[in-house]
Chain A
Amino acid sequence: MGLYRCKSSVLLLGGEHLLEFLDGLSTNHVNGPCTSPFTNGNAKIIDVCDILPVGDRVVLVGYDEYKDQLVAHLMSRILGRNISITDVSHLNDVFIGTEPDHVPEGATVHHSALGWMMVISKSLNYAATWNQEQWDEHRVMNEIPFHGHEISPKVHPFSCGLEELVHPNKGCYIGQEVLTRMRSRGKSGKVMLRKLNPVEGSTTTGQTHSLCIERVQ
């Protein structure tokens, strides 16, 4: 049991019809707290975000390395809408893992598809209880993909174990045609697998098993 400090971006969105706006751009059905990939026209991942409505605003927790692409993607679609984006990444720490016995006051918690998540002010100096190795081992044993490993701009959601985050009939979103075609034809191309070590080309290496993305016949 533990929590790992992620290299996350934290964006705060304000304005009107925020969930509807995000729903039109993401593969999962966004009508409340959820995890959803944002994909481009080729269905390749721009970022996988946790979407947390907080009051009349929405927090988007993504991967820090993909933040610029995500912001550009969102901003180009705002057009004339009354939507603002504030980057509060430098003010917050994001932890992911398993639910602790005690949740510190002031933390925002979320059941992400990737694990139990907590967003907490940096000023509270909350300490991680898992290091990278422990988090990776937990992910390998539970087949959880993660940013910078299985989840990257080179793959689509079906390739990295995120098929449950692609809603089957939510309506149009960017990348939908490609994903729907793959699903209807039963072709997902490469998929995420957990294999016994040693695994050539693994995306995450664990003590006994590893995760990898491979084409299956």
Chain B
Amino acid sequence: MDCGTCDSASPVMMVKPEEVEVNLTMTEKAVAMLEDAFGDDRSHALLVGVLSGGCSGYMYDLQIVESTEQAVQELDISGFRVLVPSASSHLLDGIEIDYVDRLMGGGFKINNPNAESSCGCGESFS
């Protein structure tokens, strides 16, 4: 095949979603759980990202990180550093991070006004 390494092959125009300034809130329960996780250490940050995949197309990705190589927006929420990747900002603007305390399906939960639908387990959205 012709792999297009010659000049005649043109990359498909990448349409990058517009970066938006993210507004993000956390419930008291989520803040309490983060205080448990972080303790007094504020050198780390909560990275709130989105990965492709899952039953509905996008999956949330929460990580505690020191830093990241991704371009991010850094927010201060209740004294915690929260990092939101710029590439996912259009999907995460307006979200609320909650913590659900139950045996099955418990943990951090994201309420996202941008999500048209989400899968049964709540891990992915579209």
Which of A75, A77, A122, A176 is in CB contact (< 8 Å) with B2?
Answer: A122
Q: Are A86 and B85 in contact (CB under 8 A)?
A: no
Write out, one digit per residue, whether chain A residues 90-122 have a CB within 8 A of any chain B CB (1) or not (0).
111000000000000011100000000001111
B residues within 8 A CB of A25? 52-53, 57
Q: Are B54 and A77 in contact (CB under 8 A)?
A: no
* Interface assignment of B73: CB less than 8 Å from any CB of chain A: no
* Interface assignment of B75: CB less than 8 Å from any CB of chain A: no
* Interface assignment of B56: CB less than 8 Å from any CB of chain A: yes
Residue of A nearest to B126 (CB): A41
Query: How many residues belonging to B are interface residues under a CB distance threshold of 8 Å?
Result: 36
Secondary structure of the A contact surface, majority rule: mixed
Residue of A nearest to B51 (CB): A79
Which of B3, B55, B85 is in CB contact (< 8 Å) with A79?
Answer: B85
Question: Closest approach, in angstroms, between the C-beta of B123 and any C-beta of chain A?
Answer: 8
Question: Given A91-B4, A120-B1, A123-B2, A77 and B12 touching (CB < 8 A)?
Answer: no
* Interface assignment of B43: CB less than 8 Å from any CB of chain A: no
Question: Given A57-B3, A91-B8, A174-B57, A21 and B120 touching (CB < 8 A)?
Answer: no
Q: Are B51 and A85 in contact (CB under 8 A)?
A: no
Interface footprint category on A: 35 or more
* Interface assignment of B15: CB less than 8 Å from any CB of chain A: yes
Q: Are A88 and B12 in contact (CB under 8 A)?
A: no
* Interface assignment of A12: CB less than 8 Å from any CB of chain B: yes
* Interface assignment of A53: CB less than 8 Å from any CB of chain B: no
Within 104-126 of B, Cβ neighbours of A (below 8 Å) are at 117, 119-120, 123-124, 126
> A85 to B11, alpha carbons, bound, how many Å?
6
Residue of A nearest to B4 (CB): A88
Question: Closest approach, in angstroms, between the C-beta of B40 and any C-beta of chain A?
Answer: 31
B residues within 8 A CB of A57? 3
Question: Closest approach, in angstroms, between the C-beta of A80 and any C-beta of chain B?
Answer: 3
Within 1-28 of B, Cβ neighbours of A (below 8 Å) are at 1-4, 6, 8-12, 14-15, 17
* Interface assignment of A78: CB less than 8 Å from any CB of chain B: yes
Q: Are B3 and A173 in contact (CB under 8 A)?
A: no
Q: Are A172 and B12 in contact (CB under 8 A)?
A: no
* Interface assignment of A65: CB less than 8 Å from any CB of chain B: no
Identify which of B10, B49, B55 gathers the most chain A CB atoms within 10 Å of its CB: B55
Q: Are B1 and A92 in contact (CB under 8 A)?
A: yes
* Interface assignment of A54: CB less than 8 Å from any CB of chain B: yes
B residues within 8 A CB of A86? 4, 9-12
Q: Are B10 and A121 in contact (CB under 8 A)?
A: no
Within 24-82 of B, Cβ neighbours of A (below 8 Å) are at 49-59, 70-71
Q: Are A172 and B8 in contact (CB under 8 A)?
A: no
Q: Which 4 A-B pairs have the closest CB atoms?
A: A24-B53, A77-B52, A80-B87, A121-B2
19 CB < 8 A contacts A-B? A25-B52, A75-B15, A77-B52, A79-B85, A80-B71, A80-B87, A81-B52, A87-B9, A88-B1, A88-B2, A91-B2, A91-B9, A119-B1, A120-B1, A121-B2, A172-B54, A172-B119, A172-B123, A174-B54
Q: Which residues of A does B touch, CB under 8 Å?
A: 10-12, 21, 24-25, 41, 54, 57, 59, 71, 75-81, 84-88, 90-92, 106-108, 119-123, 172-177
